[in-house]
Structure 1
Amino acid sequence: MSHAPRKSFRQSMAWLHTWSGLVVGWVLFAIFVTGTASYYRTEISHWMRPELSAPTADPATAATRAAAFLGRTMPDALAWSVKLPTAEHPTAEVYWWNNPAGPYHHALLDPATGEPSQARDTKGGDFLYRFHFELSLPPVWGRWIVGICAMILLVSLISGIVTHRRIFADFFTFRRDRSAQRGWLDAHNVVGVLALPFHLTIVYTGLVELGPLLMPWGVKAAYQDDILAYYAETGIMAAGRKPAGQPGTLMPLGEIVARATAAHGEVPEVVMVTGPGDAAASVTAFFEEPPGLAHLHPQIVYAGDTGAELSRTGDVAAATRTGAVMIGLHEAHFAAAPLRVLFFICGVMGAATIASGLVLWTVARAPKGADPAGFGLRLVRILNLGTIAGLPTGLAAYFLANRLLPLDLVGRADWEVRGFFAGWMLAALAALLYPKARAWPAALGVAALAFLAIPLVDALTINETRFLGFDAAMLAVAMLLALGARLASRPRRQMRAAQPNRSRAVEA
């Protein structure tokens, strides 16, 4: 009886790397692209709300007016949140809710009047930011899916390191013209190795950030359902008051903002009112995180009726600070402009690593006897084309919808999001109609034209010099996609050009 040869450990790791990367690769590509774009979340939001300018009211006055609006809108809410206006965020951004699980209501207020802003309704860069870890699904479901995909990606990264014995030598080798499979493998190795420290860091820290959701049992065992007690004891949040269950009067929110500013030496970033209609209401002032890696916001809690200070955060234990540093590394709030550019480039290389790996799977299967018309190989090719070329088309559609939709359209922000998915889905469905030989050049060419249209439409509709940097970035993306379309069409041209020479050689 013959037995199949036993696979070595490295061969097993190669199998694990190949299949773990394929199973969730399309979701990971979307996570990396939208997460990379989120490094410029504020700039995207500015571009998508061109009507906004510098705030015309001081933060204390804006807080009082925001509280008046919230008092009229939902006086019996469980909590209010007011993000005070700054030069970067010219509006007062308010949220209110009646249940910790949502729904969360939202409005942008003109700080000078306290009324809803006249700026166009849009989710701005926040949509891309939240899509990165929620996939536009119900928050718990979306974060679970992203967490599972991140764990599989970590497995794929580690197995990839084990698989490539010549990982650093391969980094300096690029043999695109040797064969299609060798060219894609070398491209995958180069972008993967060059940003490997970033990939490992971003995946691991993302899992740490999702840790309380993915592994909640320790906190539940110690604190049951009192999650606020856990936050207070670890120093993540300052302790507030328990509701009294009796109606009360909230003192002007602007006075508490003034007290917090004097106590901390800077204006709060966010003010949250817990139980605004309760006699034991608490007001928590959140300040910008201090310089450093740790993602910890100093906080001071005040009594909502008297303005007396109740508590504040202090130094945290090593475990809490370690977790905060992990979150800080993932979100890169500490990064100045040059470092943010580096993070962005590494994010682009992360997306390129996943994309090249997905394409490599199909290229490697072709010479191994896989049926080109078979369902599995064809499905992977269509998903590759629809995701790698379709997602950029969806992003361009999202930006174009911001400029082209009527300003008074009801639910305008939701229509922009629908434009994102519609552009993505149409590009993916078109992959079914493209001739195989022209599919990639055509799909990437459409995405390039869509991004090229963004600065043109912006010039025709807004035409403001303060957005030249954003428009230049869109033009750069269009050029990269056009370059990709050109490179995708080159191998077949070379093959056709070489065919007569091969024929003459056979005849000779």
Structure 2
Amino acid sequence: MTPAPASKPRKPKDLMSRIPAGFVRAVLRGHSSLGLAFAALIYLICLSGSIAVFAHEFQRWESAAAPQVTAVTPDAVQTAFEGAIARGGPGVEHVYITLPSADFPRLLLYVDAAEDRQYLADAKGQIVEGSAFAWTEFITRLHINLHLPQMWGGFLVGLIGVALLSSLISGILAHPRIFRDAFHLRLGGSKRLQEADLHNRLGVWALPFHILISLTGAFLGLTTIIVGVLGMAMFNGDVNKVYALFIPAPPVDDPRAAPVLDLRPMFAKLPQDGGRIEYVFTEHPTEMGGAALFNVKHPDRLAGTDSYAFRRDATIYNEKQAATNNLGEDILAASGTLHFGWFGGGIVKIVYFALGLGLTYLAASGVNIWLARRRDKGRPAPSWERAWAATVWGQPAGIAAAAVAALVADAIVPTIATWLAVSLVFLAATIRLPAERLSRIGSVATGALILIAAATHLALRGGIGAADGMAWIVNAALIAGGLFLILWARRRSVAAAKPAPVAAAA
């Protein structure tokens, strides 16, 4: 009896390839709908977040003429503290002191009074000029709360983080071959296929980063809601009891007038174990109920800081060691640092910036792919193409213009107004200009405005004779970026002007 021929061995299938086709189509529709619904906000938050990674560097850039301070004594801090309160006027509620660090070699004091003000001080504690950080405040607040009221803006940004995380997950489920084709790029052919491949490859290559950023962003943005829910569930709606689990409660309020809080004996009681004092938060510094909270960062710990809360008489009423944190406390404490890349120095920040721009490109290219697919199916949407081009290039142009306004005006309101005005100009231009031309104009305008920002800094902020070398690094990066955008736009214009190749006769 002749044996039956052996069956041909089948190639093993990966888990993603076993997903039913109907499910894939449904998830793809959901992925597209979710991306389109939140595309503009995801794009803006990713773009501003990529820039905000360098918040400390931009603060140094804005205060380039101020003296660099690498270390301060308790006496110098006390002198600066008293000087800031004297200039802050009546009704000082809090003073927040940022001590010098490698990222930010300045002594910065923020006074919370009838009119909020901030001051820089030199190594001796004398108040100096150059404490305006309108540009840094603009870009960080744009990312954190979109310049909306803090609670509602933060909540909206948190929801966008959830939407981004959902888009990432649905994008993976909607493309069963996405991991198997991780290095497959169709270059030189169809522009839509090329952009789709790059969109999918970037989504896979940097997936851990994308999930980390969206997850921590959602968590940070929704903190207020999370605290509110915990307060209702555990403490009959008292959210202060929830915050008290993580933040030392203030001492008993005593509004009687008193001399300015003396921080020096508090410095003396801090342990000398290699930690660096990052911040000092003072409450009611001119009242008998005054208190101060010292945050001490240890270089070998990513998550958390030690905190020591002092009464006016320099007795400690609350102490928290980061080494005793449980896992949840470590995750909570590390969320902000991980989200912004403020660990590991400049190399980590550059990596975060590049990966952040990649995530920004994912948001932009997703809409581009959807629009190109409509054109290929004979259902073009030129009005949407123009609106999206105005968004993609109106935002970087508006942000660059805001940098110029911040350097000139030294105030946040004109900075925000400039950003809004440029954004509206680009949207208004969609009435007459096609999408491709809007993109080229936006690229040139963004590059030119970046160059103008660098020139404005050199002219108005002591850039030529800056005491801080970071000003030169930032200006060099701005000039390189501005020139790149202008030259790239010129190259696109030349390529667009070339006639299409004529097919050879049969």
TM-score by length of 2: 0.84
Quickly say closer, same or farther: Cα 1:455–1:274, change in 2 above 3 A. closer
Task: Work out the CA distance in 2 between the residues paired with 1:120 and 1:303.
Answer: 29
1:180 deviation in Å? Answer: 2.6
Kindly report which structure 2 residues correspond to 1:442-461, keeping only aligned pairs within 5 A, or say none.
Answer: 442-461=441-460
Aligned partner (choices 43, 52, 58) of residue 57 of structure 2 = 43
Match of 1:178 in 2: 189
Establish whether residue 217 from structure 1 lines up as the match of residue 225 from structure 2.
Answer: no
Deviation digits for residues 446-502 of structure 1 (CA, Å, limit 9, x no counterpart): 2222223344444455324723311221133224434653565477446x322xx24
2:134·2:406 contact (CA, 8 Å) conserved in 1? Answer: no
Quickly say closer, same or farther: Cα 1:386–1:228, change in 2 above 3 A. same
1:378 deviation in Å? Answer: 3.8
1:257·1:267 contact (CA, 8 Å) conserved in 2? Answer: no
Match of 1:3 in 2: none
Quickly say closer, same or farther: Cα 1:67–1:90, change in 2 above 3 A. same
1:353 deviation in Å? Answer: 1.0
Task: Work out the CA distance in 1 between the residues paired with 2:24 and 2:72.
Answer: 64
2:282·2:293 contact (CA, 8 Å) conserved in 1? Answer: yes
Establish whether residue 357 from structure 1 lines up as the match of residue 366 from structure 2.
Answer: yes
Establish whether residue 325 from structure 1 lines up as the match of residue 317 from structure 2.
Answer: no
Task: Work out the CA distance in 2 between the residues paired with 1:86 and 1:433.
Answer: 51
Match of 2:75 in 1: 60
Match of 1:84 in 2: 99
Task: Work out the CA distance in 1 between the residues paired with 2:241 and 2:86.
Answer: 28
1:97 deviation in Å? Answer: 5.1
1:270 deviation in Å? Answer: 1.9
Worse overlay, 156-165 or 122-131: 122-131
Aligned partner (choices 475, 479, 500) of residue 497 of structure 1 = 500
Match of 1:230 in 2: 242
Establish whether residue 93 from structure 1 lines up as the match of residue 109 from structure 2.
Answer: yes
Match of 2:129 in 1: 118
2:43·2:364 contact (CA, 8 Å) conserved in 1? Answer: yes
Match of 2:413 in 1: 414
Match of 2:481 in 1: 477
Secondary structure of the structure 1 residue equivalent to 2:96: strand
Task: Work out the CA distance in 2 between the residues paired with 1:222 and 1:301.
Answer: 26
Which amino acid in 2 is paired with 1:219? G
Worse overlay, 144-153 or 418-427: 418-427
Quickly say closer, same or farther: Cα 1:110–1:78, change in 2 above 3 A. closer
Task: Work out the CA distance in 1 between the residues paired with 2:491 and 2:195.
Answer: 12
Quickly say closer, same or farther: Cα 1:402–1:339, change in 2 above 3 A. same
Establish whether residue 107 from structure 1 lines up as the match of residue 118 from structure 2.
Answer: yes
Which amino acid in 2 is paired with 1:243? D
Which amino acid in 2 is paired with 1:444? S
Identity over aligned pairs, percent: 22
Deviation digits for residues 27-64 of structure 1 (CA, Å, limit 9, x no counterpart): 11111111111111111111122221224964533334
Task: Work out the CA distance in 2 between the residues paired with 1:162 and 1:443.
Answer: 34
Quickly say closer, same or farther: Cα 1:341–1:72, change in 2 above 3 A. closer
Which amino acid in 1 is paired with 2:318? S
Task: Work out the CA distance in 2 between the residues paired with 1:356 and 1:486.
Answer: 21
Task: Work out the CA distance in 2 between the residues paired with 1:19 and 1:289.
Answer: 45
Which amino acid in 1 is paired with 2:142? F
1:86 deviation in Å? Answer: 5.3
Which amino acid in 2 is paired with 1:420? W
Establish whether residue 202 from structure 1 lines up as the match of residue 213 from structure 2.
Answer: yes
Quickly say closer, same or farther: Cα 1:238–1:28, change in 2 above 3 A. same
Task: Work out the CA distance in 2 between the residues paired with 1:251 and 1:459.
Answer: 39
Secondary structure of the structure 2 residue equivalent to 1:287: strand
Which amino acid in 2 is paired with 1:497? A
Kindly report which structure 2 residues correspond to 1:79-478, keeping only aligned pairs within 5 A, or say none.
Answer: 79-85=94-100, 88-96=104-112, 105-111=116-122, 117-119=128-130, 121-215=132-226, 216-224=228-236, 226-233=238-245, 236-244=246-254, 246-250=255-259, 252-261=261-270, 268-288=277-297, 290-294=299-303, 296-304=304-312, 306-314=313-321, 315-370=324-379, 372=380, 377-403=381-407, 405=408, 412-461=411-460, 462-464=463-465, 466=469, 467-478=471-482
Secondary structure of the structure 2 residue equivalent to 1:433: coil
Task: Work out the CA distance in 2 between the residues paired with 1:161 and 1:228.
Answer: 40
Quickly say closer, same or farther: Cα 1:130–1:186, change in 2 above 3 A. same
Match of 2:33 in 1: 19
Which amino acid in 1 is paired with 2:268? R
For the aligned residue pairs, the C-alpha RMSD in angstroms reads 3.0
Which amino acid in 2 is paired with 1:255? R
1:199 deviation in Å? Answer: 0.5
1:390·1:423 contact (CA, 8 Å) conserved in 2? Answer: yes
Worse overlay, 258-267 or 282-291: 258-267
Number of residue pairs aligned between Structure 1 and Structure 2: 477
Worse overlay, 210-219 or 452-461: 452-461
Task: Work out the CA distance in 1 between the residues paired with 2:44 and 2:128.
Answer: 32
Match of 2:16 in 1: none
Task: Work out the CA distance in 1 between the residues paired with 2:493 and 2:481.
Answer: 19
Which amino acid in 1 is paired with 2:32? T
- Could you tell me which runs of 5 or more consecutive residues in structure 2 were left unpaired when the two chains were aligned: 1-19
TM-score by length of 1: 0.84
Task: Work out the CA distance in 1 between the residues paired with 2:441 and 2:196.
Answer: 23
Task: Work out the CA distance in 1 between the residues paired with 2:297 and 2:419.
Answer: 32
